[in-house]
Amino acid sequence: MNPFAAIGRGTFALLAEIGAMSLFALRGTFSWASGPFYAREFFSAALRIGFNSLPVVGLTAIFTGAALALNIYDGSLRFNAETFLPQILSVSIVRELGPGFAALMVAGRSSSGMAAELGAMRVSDQIDAMSTLAVDPFKYLISPRILATTIMMPFIVLVADLIGILGGWMVAVFALDFEGATYIRNIDQFLTAEDVGSGLIKAGVFGFLIAVMGCYHGYKSRGGAQGVGAATRSAVVASAVAILASNYVMTSLFVDF
Amino acid sequence: MTGTPKISIRALRKSFGSKSVLQGLDLDIEEGTSLVIIGGSGTGKSVLLKCVLGLIPPDSGEILIDGVNILKLSSFERARRTREIGMLFQGSALFDSYNVWENVAFRLIHGEGKGRGAAREKAVECLAKVGLAADVGDLQPSELSGGMQKRVALARAIAADPKVLFFDEPTTGLDPITADVINRLIIERVKALGATAISITHDMGSARRIADHIAMIFDGRIIWRGRADEVGASGNPYVDQFVNGRAEGPIKMALRAD
Ligand SMILES: Nc1ncnc2c1ncn2[C@@H]1O[C@H](COP(=O)(O)OP(=O)(O)OP(=O)(O)O)[C@@H](O)[C@H]1O
Ligand SMILES: [Mg+2]
């Protein structure tokens, strides 16, 4: 087989998939605008995503903050900059690690959850049944999930930021002999609204991508339990890749000012 | 009323990849009559109904409802016209995240914006019409037997008093007595609504009971159509083979998957 033909076909298929996802995302985001807006579905999705993610996001954040404190201390010691630990740690967390880790954890939980749920509905004809009952599945199933995840993600990340900084603080105070109040004061004087804000904007974008990938793969799944399994896997992989790629793009935009 | 048929399908084609399922299918159904479609597994009977419901876009052909080609309409207009069709899906397709009464009332609550109280009353009424007690309404679909699931799906399909009803294999997988109960309910409900009905079945007993007319699908086309009482003496070797359930005949079932 001609390798160029294979690469061409692959590229073409990828572009077609991205196009289909974009149309899906557009329709999913705006379909509620022509009414009705299913508020119950929205709130239940928001609650599921928010509350259920918090324990796992919190655990991830506290260990990340703690490990990061040790690493930054060890590294900065080499050029006697260890007093800047609070500043470096907090900026790393709010700009990069808080949003990144939280999004990857939520991708693992919610993106796969949405793909599995919608996939099961698809292969058992429940989505088709919904259409015949005069309810648009995009308005009822997709829009509430996309909106809820996009809106909830910044709150989740805010919590992750706080817990991550707390994790760093605990290591600094109890293991590295920092003075607790000074540590907090340093962070407070150093961090800007842009630092935190850019992380929260990232969080919103990540939330959007997580929901779109989860819903898209679930909605399009085919072929019984095996198809649902494949949709779940694709959703997690696709949202992780989308998170990391968009993270780079957004970071390069944010550091430009 | 004679004249334009309620639903009229012209030269309908649909392929999935290289596999052509419908290959120029023509079919008319008169208002207020009951048509049964028979045919082997995988011949595209479910796909045909989904095309008419607007759930699968066909490759070419026309689908006329009340003389209007719905494939030419905007998706909004098409949805408005296909909304008057109630559908009983092959696997019941009950929403497993809602209990029974919420399933039956789904359209009333979420499609028509009725209050939950009034919708629940109507749901209980519909459940009674298919022989289910009100307390079944609080069960989850997964707690029901296959026959009860079909009844609930039937109640859900009739809840909005549709003018057209589609039944995709309503009795497949049920014992003969339950199957007969479902057949009776279908006949009774279709009569009560004065509805036009299209049913799919493999079961010739049900077909004879439900149908005014029977049509047989083979190779993506309708190869025979006649009154229900003529199906035993159709003189068509394909229909004869199907009706009598013989492995030998003009229809060669693939023994291996291709
Ligand atoms: N969405 C789809 N994508 C790809 N192929 C499909 C799709 N829907 C149906 N098919 C294929 O089309 C063919 C006809 O399917 P259909 O479900 O209409 O058969 P059927 O006549 O209803 O059979 P049965 O009596 O077993 O229900 C099958 O081979 C099926 O694999
Ligand atoms: Mg079928």
pLDDT tens digits along B49-59? 999 999 999 99
Distance of CA B168 from the midpoint of ligand 2 (Å): 6
Distance of CA A64 from the midpoint of ligand 1 (Å): 50
Task: Indicate the domain borders of chain A.
Answer: 3-254
C-alpha B29/C-alpha B225 separation (Å) is 11
Using H for helix, E for strand and C for coil, what is the string for A53-83?
HHHHHHHHHHHHHHHHHHHHHHHHHCCCCHH
pLDDT tens digits along B9-30? 999 999 999 999 999 999 999 9
Length of chain A: 257
DSSP, collapsed to helix, strand or coil, labels residue B202 as coil
Low-confidence ranges of chain A (pLDDT < 50): none
Least Cα distance to B199 among B35, B63, B84, B76 occurs for B35
Protein residues placing their CB within 5 Å of the ion ligand 2: B 46, 90
Using the structure block, give the residue that is written with the tokens 């404190």.
Answer: A69
Residue of the CA atom closest to atom 19 of ligand 1: B42
| ipTM of the modeled complex | 0.91
Task: Give the per-residue pLDDT at B253.
Answer: 67
Are the Cβ atoms of B93 and A126 closer than 8 angstroms? yes
pLDDT tens digits along B228-247? 998 888 888 889 898 888 88
The tokens for B82 are: 């296909």
Least Cα distance to A141 among A235, A201, A220 occurs for A220
Q: Does B43 touch chain A (CB under 8 A)?
A: no
Amino acid code (one letter) for B141: P
pLDDT tens digits along B166-225? 999 998 888 888 888 889 989 988 899 899 999 999 888 889 999 999 999 999 999 999
pLDDT at B41 over 70: yes
Task: Give the per-residue pLDDT at B2.
Answer: 58
Q: Output the CA–CA distances (angstroms, integers) from residue B120 to A97, A211, B75, in the order listed.
A: 49, 32, 30
C-alpha B127/C-alpha B137 separation (Å) is 8
User: Across all residues in chain B, what is the average pLDDT?
Assistant: 91
Cα Rg of chain B (Å, integer): 18
Asked if residue B116 lies in contact with residue B104, where contact means CB atoms within 8 angstroms, the answer is no
Test site for ligand 1: of B13, B21, B90, B169, most ligand atoms within 8 A of the Cβ: B21
Residue of the CA atom closest to atom 29 of ligand 1: B42
Task: Give the per-residue pLDDT at B258.
Answer: 46
The residues in B 103-162 lying below 8 A from A, measured between CB atoms, are: 106-107, 110-113, 156, 160
Could you tell me the pTM of the whole model? 0.92
Residues 6+ apart with CB under 8 A from A4: none
Least Cα distance to A142 among A115, A123, A124 occurs for A115
C-alpha B219/C-alpha B223 separation (Å) is 9
Task: Give the per-residue pLDDT at B205.
Answer: 87
What's the start-to-end Cα distance of chain A, in Å?
49
Q: When comparing pLDDT for B99 and B232, which is higher? A: B99
pLDDT tens digits along A53-112? 999 999 999 999 999 999 999 999 999 888 899 999 999 999 999 999 999 999 999 999
Least Cα distance to A203 among A12, A75, A61 occurs for A61
B49 in ligand 1 pocket by Cβ < 6 Å?
no
Length of chain B: 258
Test site for ligand 1: of B18, B22, B46, most ligand atoms within 8 A of the Cβ: B46
CA angle A111, A117, A119 (to 5 degrees): 95
Percent of chain B with pLDDT over 70: 97
**Ramachandran region, residue B240 (left: φ > 0; alpha: ψ -120 to 50; beta: rest):** alpha
Q: Does B50 touch chain A (CB under 8 A)?
A: yes
Specify the DSSP class assigned to residue B74: -
C-alpha B65/C-alpha B229 separation (Å) is 27
How many A/B residue pairs have CB atoms within 8 Å?
56
- The Cβ-side half-sphere exposure at B169, using a 13 Å CA radius, reads 17
Distance of CA B48 from the midpoint of ligand 1 (Å): 9
B2 in ligand 1 pocket by Cβ < 6 Å?
no
Residue B149 pLDDT class (50, 70, 90 cuts): very high
The tokens for B18 are: 């290289």
Asked if residue A192 lies in contact with residue A95, where contact means CB atoms within 8 angstroms, the answer is no
Distance of CA B46 from the midpoint of ligand 1 (Å): 6
Q: Where are the alpha helices (DSSP H) in chain B?
A: 45-52, 75-82, 100-104, 106, 116-129, 146-158, 176-193, 204-210, 237-244
**DSSP character string of B142-199:** GGS-HHHHHHHHHHHHHTT--SEEEEESTTTTS-HHHHHHHHHHHHHHHHHHT-EEEE
Residues 6+ apart with CB under 8 A from A215: A24, A28, A114, A115, A118, A141, A142, A145, A146
